[in-house]
């Protein structure tokens, strides 16, 4: 997609640009957004730390974005969002704004020491991953493709805070589930929502349990969808694929997706017990590589925790493995709604 100056940069609203950058792992792109201010551009997310993305940034900063960056807002710690924050700060001097919980998780996951790596491998092993696959995920993928520099100094962002960016006043939303404290920005006059990964149209955000970060993410994600469904939204600016309308409808659709997933997990959870990797395989099928098996395991754990808390499943933990069992006395099927709490 060529836009301004032959770059993958286009105006989605007057004074608001979408910059689509390549990612060299997993999904192949990420959208970051620029909002015009009097002295330059405020940036929402930064892109992954890869040569192709850096090359596009250099061209943009020498061309359409020559006015420079005023501030860098990082929605959450995942490397396609945080990846170039330090590099851009060093080049432009723009201050980085980020939730402190996200900074802490970033330091654990992106610059992990030997002890952290051992903890991550043990976490995966206890949930059923083969030791060699866990080693490959931690030593190969998480510490190479997905590692990135973490800012040493950031300005905090608070829920309910108003950020004045150029001619716009954005409400800061702090939403959980996909990450521990993801930032979304809502502009009520334009009925505009910048969502990061929290609300995507064509794919479902990964809601998983990992060695660090969210310990019970699905309830927090559903609560975030309730928050979004209460907004008056005309245009969504997501991190992946194109901008879209019908954000509230998409929030309801994601609730339906997770309700369907919960019922699948219940149906496949065998009476003899299964670990999270086994159940993930039963529901999602064989994965193409250890990283995708890890993602499936994390998502499976998130749904198992909901089923356990709601009385549909129980766990048996040993030092070697955690196994999950159906609760045969449970009645009915899981029901999720945006109008109230989760219920049967």
pTM, whole model, 2 decimals? 0.93
Q: Does pLDDT of 27 surpass 90?
A: no
User: Would you put residue 328 in left (φ > 0), alpha (ψ -120 to 50) or beta?
Assistant: alpha
The residue whose two tokens read 């998502």 is: 299
Mean pLDDT of the chain: 92
- Residue 8's pLDDT band (cuts 50, 70, 90): very high
Using CA atoms, how far apart are residues 259 and 222, in angstroms rounded to an integer?
11
At residue 2, the pLDDT reads 57
Pick 138 or 271 by higher pLDDT: 271
Q: Does pLDDT of 140 surpass 70?
A: no
Q: Does pLDDT of 139 surpass 80?
A: no
Using CA atoms, how far apart are residues 20 and 227, in angstroms rounded to an integer?
27
Domain locations in the chain as residue ranges = 4-106+147-242, 254-326
At residue 341, the pLDDT reads 41
- Residue 144's pLDDT band (cuts 50, 70, 90): low
Of the listed ranges 90-104, 137-151, 285-299, the one predicted with least confidence: 137-151
- Residue 217's pLDDT band (cuts 50, 70, 90): very high
CATH for the stretch 254-326: 1.10.10.10
- Residue 64's pLDDT band (cuts 50, 70, 90): very high
- Tell me the per-residue pLDDT of 77-133, one tens digit each, with 9 for 90 and over: 999 999 999 999 999 999 999 999 999 998 887 756 667 788 889 999 999 999 999
Q: Does pLDDT of 18 surpass 70?
A: yes
At residue 329, the pLDDT reads 65
- Residue 142's pLDDT band (cuts 50, 70, 90): low
The residue whose two tokens read 């709601």 is: 310
At residue 122, the pLDDT reads 94
In three state form, how does the secondary structure of 125-175 look? HHCCCCHHHHHHHHHHHHHHHCCCCCCCCCECCCCCCEEEECCEEEEEEEE
At residue 291, the pLDDT reads 84
Q: Does pLDDT of 338 surpass 80?
A: no
Q: In what order do the strands lie in the sheet with 162-165?
A: 162-165, 168-175, 182-187, 192-196, 235-238
- Tell me the per-residue pLDDT of 194-206, one tens digit each, with 9 for 90 and over: 999 999 999 999 9
Exposure string over 128-153, b if 16+ CB within 10 A, otherwise e: bbeeebbbbbbeebbbebbbbbbbee
The residue whose two tokens read 């006015």 is: 67
Q: Does pLDDT of 301 surpass 70?
A: yes
At residue 107, the pLDDT reads 87
Mean pLDDT over 252-279 rounds to 96
Burial class (CB in 10 A: 0-12, 13-18, 19+), 203: exposed
- Residue 9's pLDDT band (cuts 50, 70, 90): very high
Q: Does pLDDT of 207 surpass 50?
A: yes
CATH classification of 4-106+147-242, choosing from 3.60.15.10, 3.40.50.300, 3.30.420.610, 3.30.360.10? 3.60.15.10
Q: Does pLDDT of 21 surpass 50?
A: yes
């Amino acid at each position: 997609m060529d836009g301004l100056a032959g770059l993958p940069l286009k105006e989605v609203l007057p004074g608001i640009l979408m910059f689509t950058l390549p990612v060299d792992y997993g999904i192949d792109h990420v959208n970051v957004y620029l909002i015009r201010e009097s002295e330059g551009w405020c940036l929402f997310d930064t892109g992954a730390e890869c040569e192709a993305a850096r090359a596009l940034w250099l061209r943009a900063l020498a061309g359409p974005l020559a006015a420079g960056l005023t501030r860098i807002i990082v929605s959450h710690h995942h490397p396609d969002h945080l990846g170039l924050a330090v590099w851009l700060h060093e080049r432009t001097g723009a201050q980085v704004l980020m939730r402190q919980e996200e900074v802490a998780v970033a330091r654990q996951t992106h610059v992990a020491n030997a002890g952290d790596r051992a903890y991550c491998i043990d976490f995966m092993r206890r949930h059923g991953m083969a030791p060699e696959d866990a080693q490959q995920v931690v030593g190969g993928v998480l510490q190479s493709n997905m590692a990135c520099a973490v800012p040493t100094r950031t300005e905090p962002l608070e829920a309910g805070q108003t950020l004045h960016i150029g001619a716009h006043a954005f409400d800061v939303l702090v939403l959980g589930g996909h990450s521990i404290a993801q930032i979304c920005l809502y502009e009520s006059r334009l009925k505009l929502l910048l969502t990061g990964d929290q609300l995507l149209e064509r794919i479902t955000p990964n809601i998983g349990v990992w060695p660090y970060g969210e310990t019970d993410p699905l309830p927090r994600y559903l609560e975030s969808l309730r928050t979004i469904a209460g907004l008056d939204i005309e245009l969504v600016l997501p991190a992946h694929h194109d901008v879209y309308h019908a954000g509230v409808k998409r929030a309801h659709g994601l609730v339906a997706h997770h309700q369907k997933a919960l019922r699948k997990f219940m149906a496949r959870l065998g009476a003899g017990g299964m670990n999270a990797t086994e159940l993930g395989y039963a529901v999602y099928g064989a994965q193409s590589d250890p990283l995708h098996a890890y993602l499936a395991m994390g998502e499976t754990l998130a749904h198992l925790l909901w089923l356990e808390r709601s009385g549909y499943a129980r766990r048996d933990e040993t030092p070697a493995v955690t196994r999950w069992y159906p609760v045969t006395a449970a009645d009915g099927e899981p029901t999720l709604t945006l109008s109230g709490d989760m219920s049967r």
